[in-house]
Amino acid sequence: MLVNDGDEFERVWARLGGRLESGTKILYWGVRRGYSGRAFRVTCVGERSIAITGSGLSVQRTISKEEFQRIYARWRGYCNGSIQRQALRPLSFNTSFTLSIFRWLEDCC
């Protein structure tokens, strides 16, 4: 199941930009395991990317808006089980982070 509404993603991206701040702690989350207890932190929220650091990362990692958009297009399918996690991996090396950030947004705001 793909969400092809670009306007919807732009609204989600704007919500992320308005709510995420440098220092925000995000718990790792996956549909099968839920929250793992491990976390990472947002270090920078930009117009075209979000940077993170933390558990398991030796350096800051920057995730592009385009990567978020590719994963968001499949977010609902992932959450309802019609899209498996392994199907997302070729779209981004950052699925653990993007999925966790989308869950954070749904849970917090």
> How crowded is residue 87: how many other Cβ atoms within 10 Å of its Cβ?
13
| Overall domain count for the chain | 1
Closest CA to 54 of 91, 20, 16, 27: 27
| pLDDT beyond 80 at 108 | yes
Q: Confirm whether 30 is domain-assigned.
A: yes
Chain segment 90-101, per-residue pLDDT in tens: 999 999 999 999
Q: Confirm whether 1 is domain-assigned.
A: no
Q: Confirm whether 52 is domain-assigned.
A: yes
**What pLDDT score was predicted for residue 92?**
94
Q: Which domain holds residue 90?
A: 6-108
**What pLDDT score was predicted for residue 58?**
85
Chain segment 27-71, per-residue pLDDT in tens: 999 999 999 889 999 999 999 999 999 877 889 999 999 999 999
**What pLDDT score was predicted for residue 82?**
95
**What pLDDT score was predicted for residue 2?**
46
